[in-house]
A and B are shown apart, each in its own frame.
With several copies, the nearest count.
Chain A
Amino acid sequence: MALSREQMAQRVARELKDGYYVNLGIGIPTLVANYVPDGIEVMLQSENGLLGMGQFPTEDEVDADMINAGKQTVTAITGASIFSSADSFAMIRGGHVDLTVLGAFEVDTQGNIASWMVPGKLIKGMGGAMDLVAGADNIIVTMTHASKHGESKLLSECSLPLTGAGCIKRVLTDLAFIEIKEGKFWLLERAPGVSVEEIVEKTAGEIVVPEHVPEMAF
Chain B
Amino acid sequence: MSGFDKVVDSYEEALAGLDNNMTVLAGGFGLCGIPEGCIAQIKRMGVRGLTVVSNNCGVDGFGLGVLLEDKQISKMVSSYVGENALFEKQMMEGELEVELTPQGTLAEKLRAGGAGIPAFYTATGFGTPIGEGKESRQFDGRDYILEESITGDFAIVKGWKADRYGNVIYRHTAQNFNPMVATAGKITVVEVEEIVEPGELDPSQIQTPGIYVNRVVLGNFEKRIEQRTVRQADA
Contacts and interface: CB of A to CB of B under 8 A. Distances in A.
Interface string B50-72: 00000100000000000000000
B203 A76 contact: yes
B74 to A, nearest CB: 18
B124 A85 contact: no
Interface in B216-235: 223-234
A64 B223 CA distance: 6
A97 B183 CA distance: 12
A51 B211 contact: yes
Interface string A10-54: 000000011111000000000000000000111101111111100
A21 B164 CA distance: 15
Q: Which interface residue of B29, B128, B198 has the most chain A CB atoms within 10 A?
A: B128
B35 interface: no
B203 A80 contact: yes
B119 interface: no
Nearest to B92: A122
A92 interface: yes
Contact of A41 (B3, B78, B88): B3
B102 A126 contact: yes
Contact of B81 (A124, A130, A163): A124
Interface in B178-235: 178-180, 183, 198-199, 203-204, 206-207, 209-212, 223-234
Contact of B203 (A42, A52, A128, A135): A52
Contacts of A51: 209-211
Contacts of A49: 29, 173, 175-176
A217 B180 CA distance: 45
Contacts of A20: 3
Interface residues of A, number: 76
A124 B122 contact: no
Contacts of A80: 203
A39 B82 CA distance: 39
Interface stretch (A65-73, A140-148, A171-179): A65-73
Interface stretch (A55-63, A181-189, A196-204, A208-216): A55-63
A79 B4 contact: yes
A122 B116 contact: no
Contacts of B55: 85
B173 A97 contact: no
B116 A65 contact: no
A4 interface: no
Given A62-B228, A86-B179, A165 B126 contact: yes
A84 B180 contact: yes
B187 to A, nearest CB: 13
B125 interface: yes
Given A58-B232, A135-B124, A90 B114 contact: yes
Interface in A100-141: 112, 117, 122-131, 134-135
Contact of A70 (B178, B227, B231): B227
Interface stretch (B7-15, B18-26, B105-113): B105-113
A57 B110 CA distance: 32
B73 interface: no
A58 B225 contact: no
Contact of B209 (A68, A81, A127): A81
A79 B167 contact: yes
Interface in B105-162: 105-108, 110-111, 113-117, 122-130, 143, 160
A174 B173 CA distance: 34
A20 B2 CA distance: 11
A52 B199 CA distance: 11
Contact of A67 (B115, B173, B203): B173
B4 A19 contact: yes
Given A41-B1, A82-B203, A165-B143, 13 more contacts: A20-B3, A57-B231, A60-B233, A62-B230, A65-B160, A67-B173, A79-B198, A81-B203, A82-B204, A90-B115, A122-B88, A130-B105, A164-B127
Please list the 9 inter-chain residue pairs (A to B) with the smallest Cβ-Cβ separation, ordered nearest first: A165-B127, A19-B3, A124-B82, A79-B198, A89-B104, A18-B3, A131-B104, A93-B116, A90-B115
